[in-house]
Amino acid sequence: MVHSSNKQIVLLSHPTGFPIAGEHLGVHTTQLNTILEEDEILLRNLFVSVDPYLRGRMNDDKEAVIPGFEIGKPFSSGGVSEVIQSRNPRFTVGAIVVGEAGWEEYTHVTAAASDGFNVIEGARESKVPLSSYIGVLGFPGLTGYGSLKAFGQLKKGETIYISAASGAVGQLVGQLARLQGLRVIGSAGSDDKVEYLLKELKFDAAFNYKKGDILENLRSHAPNGLDIYFDSVGGRQLEAALEVLNLYGRVIACGHISVYNGQESHGIRNLYQVIGKRITIRGILVNDFVQDEFANFQRDVGQHLLNGDIIYREDIAEGLENGAEAFVGMLKGANFGKAVIKIADL
Amino acid sequence: MVHSSNKQIVLLSHPTGFPIAGEHLGVHTTQLNTILEEDEILLRNLFVSVDPYLRGRMNDDKEAVIPGFEIGKPFSSGGVSEVIQSRNPRFTVGAIVVGEAGWEEYTHVTAAASDGFNVIEGARESKVPLSSYIGVLGFPGLTGYGSLKAFGQLKKGETIYISAASGAVGQLVGQLARLQGLRVIGSAGSDDKVEYLLKELKFDAAFNYKKGDILENLRSHAPNGLDIYFDSVGGRQLEAALEVLNLYGRVIACGHISVYNGQESHGIRNLYQVIGKRITIRGILVNDFVQDEFANFQRDVGQHLLNGDIIYREDIAEGLENGAEAFVGMLKGANFGKAVIKIADL
């Protein structure tokens, strides 16, 4: 089963603007070391997650909170993988695991790194697609579930606004809020995404942020103002939401994709709004929710998926050959649903 | 005692930029109605508070959280006053009260408005100046005390940065943080204010924000980064603080004086910092602390004042004739210490 060659998507150079496939990242084949030391495992990767925050890891920034990628080395992110060799008693050959996998056919996991992998019990009989474990049942899902629970203070009848609402996190946030009786407003970057939000996800209102004025759209769709803004975008979206937020409004700041690609950031000119309205803006990373909430999250959202209360759309690129383009496309909003690269079949 | 004429500082017109004494606000003499209905009181005003937020009340903004002033009507703010007539059983003639007083010699307080006044017990024997009750022992002090307690999560050894640090709120915030074992850094707009912070208030570090780069100053004075930024200014100060804040840093946003006078606001370009560092920005208004904290605050800070652990500098303008200039000067940072207008002696 194990090949000595290993196809990878690697960082070629540090981009300043939008990365270009072939220039800043690209496919590369290297040799695989299949000889395991004690507690090491060898993985055959099935799916890896394509996330906005990975753009930051392409920068040459030694002080970044999340360590960057090295030139010539593969990208890595949440992945679903099959254990094909093991010298670690926690993992049997054939187990399906989730953890930080390389964007490559095979990942040789060190003893230290093996702590970050967990077995998906019953994976081969799973009623949900295995890619769910890096999406709606993985870190993107936990980002939404954990931050709403910790900081959203959701109350029935309140109004929540979600930007990037058809994306990996937004889809789940909107449906969780709807299930708790909130009025849910979403925006996305195309008319078909807006239609998906309204018809499939049953949002109360949705609009295409590229058409018309964001502030006017918010004012018309949220006549009683906003209580929560779930922000994956920053910039003009955040500025507009601050205008429409109510007293004691909450902003959950989960991403700031409007600046990730080195476009000049739109300066926020109305932060004084937070004072009179006693708004809280809270930056969040999923890491903070893993210990206390991961089990609750998988139980609750898993049940909703089985009930059909929550649905989840993925945009799957087939093969590492198409992975670099899928990543660049995701940064530009070309994906429709959670972006994933499928590396191999189980 | 009661005169039928009443000198006032009134709103003359709505300013767009910095207000001009004589054009946007000025002295005006009107007739006083001294005939009280049931539960009304008549006050002789001694001191009124000169606060940055009052600039917002000069705007023509019907949706403002804090209602604006009316043209031709007096300014009002926290005041210390003597009750000279009373038809309200809560107030005896001769009592000294604190509450929202007009910027005028006498205020005729309606029954409804009388609920907002409280007697200062033992005021005539007070060991602190009566003006303290609208400063370090009043709403400016409660703003600092209440917000640090509710949202600062102060821990010994942490570093706090305070802008407008020699002002009404900043002086107290810095000394309370120092007493709790934090490293305290302040900035102010003149060298003599900086000297006051270092020599009188015993801050660990202080700098003149008009000299040199704010970010470089912060980096050199906070080698271990900032844990808390107490923000009365917004704009470039906030932007610089976001760069230097540590993981789980807190911003207490108490004022945004950099935009109050209609100067084009400096857009904040680095709000993405809140995500990776899980920063919380929390807007606060003193109103939220009155019910739960006012008694604790007066007890604790009163004790510190008597002990000499905390000192407090006021900048007192003598007479309503000088009040408009004192207000405009405060907006430009000309005051040194908490700005107050003294209307009359007790």
Please tell me if residue A283 touches chain B, with a CB cutoff of 8 Å: yes
Asked if B14 has any chain A CB less than 8 Å from its own CB, the reply is no
Residues 6+ apart with CB under 8 A from B90: B114, B119
pLDDT at A140: 97
- Strands (DSSP E) contained in chain A are 5-11, 25-31, 41-49, 76-86, 96-102, 106-109, 118-119, 159-162, 183-188, 205-208, 226-231, 245-253, 280-283, 314-318, 338-342
Q: Inter-chain contact B269–A265, Cβ cutoff 8 Å?
A: yes
A7-35: per-residue pLDDT in tens?
Answer: 999 999 999 999 999 999 999 999 999 99
Range name among A82-96, A327-341, B60-74 with the lowest pLDDT average: B60-74
pLDDT confidence tier of residue B2, bands split at 50, 70 and 90:
low
What pLDDT was estimated at residue A154?
98
B5-134+314-342 in CATH: which number?
A: 3.90.180.10
Helices B287-307 & B139-147 angle (0-180, nearest 10): 100
Indicate where chain B has its CATH 3.90.180.10 domain(s): 5-134+314-342
**Is A283 in contact with B276 (Cβ distance < 8 A)?**
yes
The closest of B312, B320, B324, B313 to B342, measured between CA atoms, is: B320
- The confidence band for A66, taking pLDDT boundaries of 50, 70 and 90, is confident
Q: How confident is the model at residue B138 (pLDDT cuts 50, 70, 90)?
A: very high
pLDDT tens track for B205-258: 999 999 999 999 999 999 999 999 999 999 999 999 999 999 999 999 999 888
Q: Is A238 on the interface with B (CB under 8 A)?
A: yes
Give me the mean pLDDT over the B53-64 stretch.
92
Q: Which of B63, B238, B239, B271 to mutate to test the interface with A (most CBs of A within 10 A)?
A: B271
**Domain A5-134+313-342: which CATH number of 3.90.180.10, 3.30.70.560, 3.40.50.150, 3.50.50.60:** 3.90.180.10
| Sequence letter at residue B278 | R
Chains A–B, number of C-beta pairs less than 8 Å apart: 107
Nearest to B65 among A238, A266, A276 (CB): A276
The C-alpha atoms of residue B125 and residue B194 are separated, in whole angstroms, by 34
Beta strand A5-11 with A25-31: parallel, antiparallel or unpaired?
A: antiparallel
Q: Which amino acid is at B234?
A: G
Question: Amino acid identity of B187?
Answer: S
CA distance B44 to chain A (A): 31
Give B285 to chain A, closest Cα distance, Å: 6
Kind of pairing between the strands at A76-86 and A41-49? antiparallel
Residues in chain B with CB shorter than 8 Å from the CB of A281 are 271, 274, 280-282
> What is the total residue count of chain B?
346
Torsion on CA atoms A322, A324, A326, A331, rounded to nearest 10: -170
Residue B263 has pLDDT above 80, yes or no: no
Kindly report the backbone phi and psi dihedral angles of residue B74, in degrees, each rounded to the nearest multiple of 5, phi listed first. Answer: -70, 150
Q: Which chain B residues are Cβ-neighbours of A265 within 8 angstroms?
A: 269-270, 272
Task: Give kind and range of the element (H or E) at residue B328.
Answer: helix B323-331
Among A65, A256, A271, the residue with its CB nearest the CB of B256 is A271
Q: pLDDT: is A88 or A263 the higher one?
A: A88
Using only the alpha carbons of chain B, give its radius of gyration.
20
Q: Cβ(B299)–Cβ(B270) under 8 Å? A: no
How many helices (H) and strands (E) in chain A? Answer: 9, 15
Nearest CB among B65, B253, B267 relative to A268 is that of B267
pLDDT confidence tier of residue A2, bands split at 50, 70 and 90: low
Q: Is the pLDDT of residue B172 over 60?
A: yes
- The structure tokens listed for A243 are 């205008």
| pLDDT attached to residue B258 | 82
Asked if pLDDT for residue B87 goes beyond 60, the answer is yes
Task: Tell me how far apart the alpha carbons of residues A62 and B85 are, in angstroms, rounded to a whole number.
Answer: 70
pLDDT, tens digit, for every residue of A148-196? 999 999 999 999 999 999 999 999 999 999 999 999 999 999 999 999 9
A213: its two tokens: 């004025």
* Cα separation, A156 vs B29, whole angstroms: 53
CB contact under 8 A, B275 and A284: yes
Mean pLDDT of the region B306-327? 97
CA of A255 to nearest chain B CA: how many angstroms apart?
A: 7
Would you call B274 an interface residue with chain A, using a CB distance cutoff of 8 Å?
A: yes
A282 → chain B, closest CA residue: B280
The reported pLDDT for the residue numbered B261 is: 79
pLDDT confidence bin for B306, thresholds 50/70/90: very high
Outline which parts of chain B fall under CATH 3.40.50.720.
Answer: 139-283
Q: What is the DSSP string of B106-140?
A: EEEE-HHHHTT-EE-TTGGG-SS-GGGGGTTTSHH
pLDDT band at A264 (very low <50, low <70, confident <90, very high): low
Tell me: the pLDDT tens digits for A221-260? 999 999 999 999 999 999 999 999 999 999 999 998 888 7
Architecture of domain A139-283: 3-Layer(aba) Sandwich (3.40)
If one counts every other C-beta atom within 10 angstroms of the C-beta of residue B246, the result is: 17
Arithmetic mean of pLDDT, B178-191? 98
Q: Is B253 exposed, middle or buried (0-12, 13-18, 19+ CB in 10 A)?
A: buried
Instruction: Say how far apart CA A303 and CA A20 lie, in whole Å.
Output: 40
Residue B185's closest CA among B195, B176, B197?
B197
Of B268, B270, B278, the CB nearest to A284: B278
Rounded to a whole number of angstroms, the distance between the first and last alpha carbons of chain B is: 13
Contact B310, B301 (CB under 8 A): yes
Locate the chain B residue with the closest alpha carbon to A272.
B256
Tell me the shortest Cα–Cα distance from B30 to chain A, in angstroms: 32
Does the structure show a pLDDT above 80 at A263?
Answer: no
Taking an 8 Å cut-off on Cβ atoms, the answer to whether A275 and B259 are in contact is no
Judging contacts by C-beta atoms under 8 Å, the chain B residues touching residue A275 are 253-256, 283-285
* Burial class of A279 by CB neighbour count within 10 A (0 to 12, 13 to 18, 19+): buried
> Helix, strand or coil for residue A226?
strand
Alpha-carbon distance of B284 to B140, in angstroms, equals: 12
Scanning the structure block, which residue is given the tokens 């017990």? B121
On whether any CB of chain B is under 8 Å from the CB of A199, the answer is no
State the pLDDT confidence band at A3, using cuts at 50, 70 and 90: low
- What is chain A's percent helix, strand, coil content, to nearest 5? 30, 25, 40
Please check whether residue B255 is in contact with residue B237, taking contact to mean a CB–CB distance below 8 angstroms: no
pLDDT score recorded for residue B242: 98
DSSP H helical ranges for chain A? 111-114, 139-147, 170-179, 191-195, 214-221, 235-244, 273-276, 287-307, 323-331
> Would you give the distance in Å from CA B334 to the centre of its chain?
15
B273 touches chain A (CB under 8 A): yes
Of the candidates A309, A342, A331, which has an alpha carbon nearest to the alpha carbon of residue A132? A342
What's the confidence (pLDDT) of residue B260?
79
When the pLDDT of each residue in chain B is averaged and rounded to a whole number, the result is: 96
Residue holding tokens 């009340």? Answer: B57
Structure-token match 């009179």, residue found: A276
Alpha-carbon distance of B154 to B183, in angstroms, equals 11
Q: pLDDT at position B265, please?
A: 77
Is B17 an interface residue toward A (CB < 8 Å)? Answer: no
Q: Does B76 have pLDDT greater than 70?
A: yes
Q: Do B280 and A276 touch (CB under 8 A)?
A: no
Kindly report the nearest CA distance between residue A134 and chain B, in angstroms.
20
Residues of B in contact with A64 (CB under 8 A): 276
Nearest one of B224, B303, A251, A255 to A240, comparing CA atoms? A251
The rounded mean pLDDT for chain A is 96
**Which residues in chain A are closer than 8 Å to B249, comparing Cβ atoms?**
none
A160 min Cα distance to partner chain B (Å): 19
